[in-house]
Amino acid sequence: MDALILLGSFFLLMLIGTPVAYALGIAALIGAWWIDIPLDAVMIAISSGVNKFSLLAIPFFVLAGAIMAEGGMARRLVAFANVLVGFIRGGLSLVNILASTFFGAISGSSMADTASVGTVLIPEMEKKGYPREFATAVTIGGSVQAILIPPSHNAVIYSLAAGGSVSIAALFLAGVLPGLLLGATLAAMCLVIAKRKNYPKGDVIPLRQALKICADALWGLMTMVIILGGILSGVFTATESASIAVLWAFFVTMFIYRDYRWREIPKLVHRTVKTLAIVMILIAFASSFGYIMTLMQIPLQITTAFTTLSDNRYVILMLINVLLLALGTLMDMAPLILILTPILLPVVTAIGIDPVHFGMIMMVNLGMGLITPPVGGVLFVGSAVAKLPMETVVKALLPFYVGLFLVLMAVTYLPALSLWLPQAVLTK
């Protein structure tokens, strides 16, 4: 009955249009009242939820990504990717995937990736003879890499939702191989489609121009080295690397590239703060919701239910995948991580799944949800950038859903994909 009151009130509030963050907070208050817990305890849980040093990584990474997205870095990364693979048949689709890899490793945001890379490449691909819907599908599919490749904001949120027991550095490293596998899978699909439909080849860029483009993009690519190199060398933590990334992004944008006007900076910071306010409110209220769930022993009950269904870890993982895929189409990624991690983490640890490995399973599942109707945030952004109906984009995305599903199965049932790099680097 306790679970029915808490979860029922949450879903009822969602159905009547209450924003997710406030639905979580109000449901937590209702749950506390039902089990006769002082409301002061809920308030303490709310404040404790955002009183964590590691959370500072999120605003810094978001701000760094925003500066780079609007400061001309996306255009330079596209040009750099074009030097590497643009001359192949269907090369511009590969450029799109590779640019998303580079930009995702800087911004950590699929939406920023889609908006930045899509604004540059969707019109360019159409001009070169690619269907607009195909260009949009490639952009949206490729942007899922940003969820896996460090510095992923969602990895930080997962670490927080896991109670801080999972290292952010381990999660960052765990996402490298799955992210590269996803990019390689989508690139292979683009090559097959390009050959079958005879999409055009690009031109080979002259050596002198190519060297200039590479030198210009190097400043932006250095951000990846600063973030990962600093963390792995032990020079600074993930949170400190985020603040260094902001300083580097500001320096490169304002003093090297000089494409951004100083008077635009307050507006950029204002937009970033608005985004972060929503995220931090969500994290705070989700913490109180998780606190009440723990008091009601809901995670324990769900763990018991799953292990009763089957004692086979592969079956349980498939059931969890189905659950995550279904919920990912109905809710945004961050709230689902905050709600489901405290529920499902005990289930997977009970069957011997490493929490870092499970984090990657969750990222791929919910990343697919971001590009799947009816509530796919990245799908909406891509459709808006391309000025195409969502139905048209979804139809073009169908082959890419297959590729993403294959990557999901590999990440789920090949733990080494997620765990080899963290174990090799962090256990030395």
User: Can you give the pLDDT at residue 355?
Assistant: 95
Please compute the mean of the pLDDT values over residues 379-393 and round it to a whole number: 87
Q: What is the largest CA-CA distance in the chain?
A: 73
Write the single-letter amino acid at 210. A
Q: Which of the four pLDDT bands, split at 50, 70 and 90, describes residue 175?
A: very high
Our separate counts of H helices and E strands in the chain read 23, 0
Residue 410 has pLDDT above 80, yes or no: yes
User: Can you give the pLDDT at residue 10?
Assistant: 86
Domain hosting 345: range is 2-426
Q: What is the DSSP string of 293-347?
A: HHHTTHHHHHHHHHHHH-S-HHHHHHHHHHHHHHHHTTS-HHHHHHHHHHHHHHH
Residue 428 has pLDDT above 60, yes or no: no
User: Can you give the pLDDT at residue 404?
Assistant: 94
Q: Which of the four pLDDT bands, split at 50, 70 and 90, describes residue 23?
A: confident
Q: Which tens digits make up the pLDDT trace of 218-242?
A: 887 887 777 777 777 777 777 788 8
User: Can you give the pLDDT at residue 210?
Assistant: 85
User: Can you give the pLDDT at residue 305?
Assistant: 78
Q: Which tens digits make up the pLDDT trace of 306-318?
A: 778 777 889 999 9
- Cα angle for residues 398, 402, 404 (degrees, 5° grid): 110
Total of domains in the chain: 1
Q: Which tens digits make up the pLDDT trace of 416-427?
A: 999 999 988 877
Q: Which of the four pLDDT bands, split at 50, 70 and 90, describes residue 213?
A: confident
Measured distance CA(131)–CA(414) in Å, rounded: 36
User: Can you give the pLDDT at residue 407?
Assistant: 96
Residue 393 has pLDDT above 70, yes or no: yes
User: Can you give the pLDDT at residue 300?
Assistant: 74
DSSP state of 376: -
pTM: 0.85
Q: Which tens digits make up the pLDDT trace of 327-362?
A: 888 777 888 898 889 889 988 998 889 999 999 999
User: Can you give the pLDDT at residue 189?
Assistant: 93
User: Can you give the pLDDT at residue 168?
Assistant: 86
Please compute the mean of the pLDDT values over residues 371-375 and round it to a whole number: 81
Q: Which of the four pLDDT bands, split at 50, 70 and 90, describes residue 16?
A: confident
Give the mean pLDDT of the chain.
85
User: Can you give the pLDDT at residue 188?
Assistant: 93
Q: Which of the four pLDDT bands, split at 50, 70 and 90, describes residue 8?
A: confident
Buried b (16+ CB within 10 A) or exposed e, 296-312: bebbeebbeebeeeeee
Residue 46 has pLDDT above 70, yes or no: yes
| Cα torsion 186, 369, 149, 258: sign | positive
Write the single-letter amino acid at 137. A
Please compute the mean of the pLDDT values over residues 235-258 and round it to a whole number: 83
